[in-house]
Structure 1
């Protein structure tokens, strides 16, 4: 019986996020103020009082979700994870939870990642789409059949829910083909660009320099990383997988299955929203889920 802690990614933000933590916990308040200093602007004000529109800006969204998750985790009295994982951006939160990265270093990397991804989106207008109720192999086959545009499987969220990523034209073509192949829905998402696709290569190069210059410690428990969907304990391999993640797929279904195979019986989602609790339940109904925010 092992306890897994999981951390959400971009898209789980909401106005007022983290405010209760700040107002009720002195440690949380100090960490939020430290984050404001590191980032050079009062992100806490945007999180607590800002609009949905302000929270959607990538340079705000990613640090905001990271801060809510990590500060909530660091304020837990008795959190001793047997294993951790994070969805996309959430992998940085997971790496603070298992002591690979310090709070300060992880926040700096998240800010660099957010800004680099924003620039890559502006360089190559691109998008993502959710494909529902179509077999993973069929989705991959359709993506591979579109050879003159970039289209790849990006997020394996749970069985029957896969997100594809690529050029705007490529995604439009893919959505029509997915529907024709029997997908219940193929819906373009309101995102800034083609995350977890080759179109993020310019951002990956910038992030790689920052990651390679940052100290990574050996973890206190394994992290199940997005790109390999298995337990990783070597800090050098963790670095490489974190760099590969920007252009590689988020294998969330496979990561959760691997955690369960390795003994996880209880998943606690730490941070804003309940998205991951829902996905874990769809992947395996027999495990317990709860959340901390």
Structure 2
């Protein structure tokens, strides 16, 4: 049976649940200590003082939790993939990036994002919709003055970046054509309009960040390509800023690799829930489950 580790994109986490795991779990404590040494301050203290769900400290806490959860799985994956923010943890488990460098890269690029969106694209958000009929989807998109697709999760399940002033009308029209709105992300993500952010993050984060060829097949979240070189890993990590994610392409690639079982390493309320994920045998590994008396994989 072939297995893959899937590191999910970052979603707002329950602070108490995540920090409890990072404090009480032995593997997590070791990872927290290593991360603290890299950044030079207490990640947990900074996370406690964070004012929003995607702050640099929140990103670091989420990264540490995902890697620590994967540490506890008693199997070596045959492939790894990461969705959106999860790419860095996936790169770590592929052997392409050390954990310390992943922490350093996360901190640097989080600061780049905060600085960039403080002055750029302040009127843009990324909104998630599901169960939207294809004809209705195209109709509603055509009514917007500007948009860019930021991701495809499954049939009728999309992430779209649009101007915030049009969001209320957009969500109303999605409902009228039979779809459902989920949540809105600020700052926005994965849109071609953010190419300048990609260049800024590249210059700030990769100057002294050594990368290696992956030791385990690493599947790109943009198009499902199997990344085999250090240069390919660098491109994948930068593509996250200005290329949409494509979960259907990822699952198709995992099927081609013979993967039948997925271990989701981190809190996920999105990618493991859709029909394409259900084609695999699923296991959930998240902070809440990790603190149960018996540590075992739980079907997603």
Q: Does the 8 Å contact 2:272/2:278 carry over to 1? A: no
Residue pairs, 1:199-238, within 5 angstroms = 199-209=193-203, 210-238=205-233
Q: Does the 8 Å contact 1:10/1:65 carry over to 2? A: yes
- Residue number among 75, 82, 106 corresponding to 1:79 in the alignment: 75
Change (3 A) 1:244 1:21: closer
Residue pairs, 1:70-219, within 5 angstroms = 70-76=67-73, 78-123=74-119, 124-125=121-122, 126-135=124-133, 139=137, 143=141, 146=144, 148-149=145-146, 151-169=147-165, 171-172=167-168, 174-175=170-171, 177-180=173-176, 182-186=177-181, 189=184, 191-209=185-203, 210-219=205-214
Change (3 A) 1:42 1:12: same
1:10 equivalent to 2:10? Answer yes
Structure 2 CA distance, aligned partners of 1:262 and 1:152? 31
Change (3 A) 1:213 1:142: farther
> Residue 70 of structure 1: SS of its match in structure 2?
helix
Q: Does the 8 Å contact 2:152/2:247 carry over to 1? A: yes
Change (3 A) 1:137 1:105: farther
User: How far 1:198 moved relative to its partner?
Assistant: 3.2
Structure 2 CA distance, aligned partners of 1:271 and 1:188? 19
Match of 1:33 in 2: 33
Change (3 A) 1:275 1:179: closer
Structure 2 CA distance, aligned partners of 1:227 and 1:212? 23
Q: Deviations over 1:111-149 (max 9, x none)?
A: 122222222222221211122212468646754664x53
Structure 2 CA distance, aligned partners of 1:140 and 1:117? 30
Number of residue equivalences:
282
Change (3 A) 1:19 1:168: same
Moved over 6 A (4+): none
Structure 1 CA distance, aligned partners of 2:282 and 2:250? 16
Structure 1 CA distance, aligned partners of 2:92 and 2:70? 9
TM-score (norm 2): 0.83
Change (3 A) 1:145 1:71: same
> Residue 129 of structure 2: SS of its match in structure 1?
strand
TM-score (norm 1): 0.84
Q: Does the 8 Å contact 1:113/1:203 carry over to 2? A: no
User: How far 1:162 moved relative to its partner?
Assistant: 0.9
Change (3 A) 1:246 1:265: same
- Give unpaired runs (5+ residues) of structure 1: none
- Give unpaired runs (5+ residues) of structure 2: 287-300
RMSD across aligned positions (CA)? 2.6
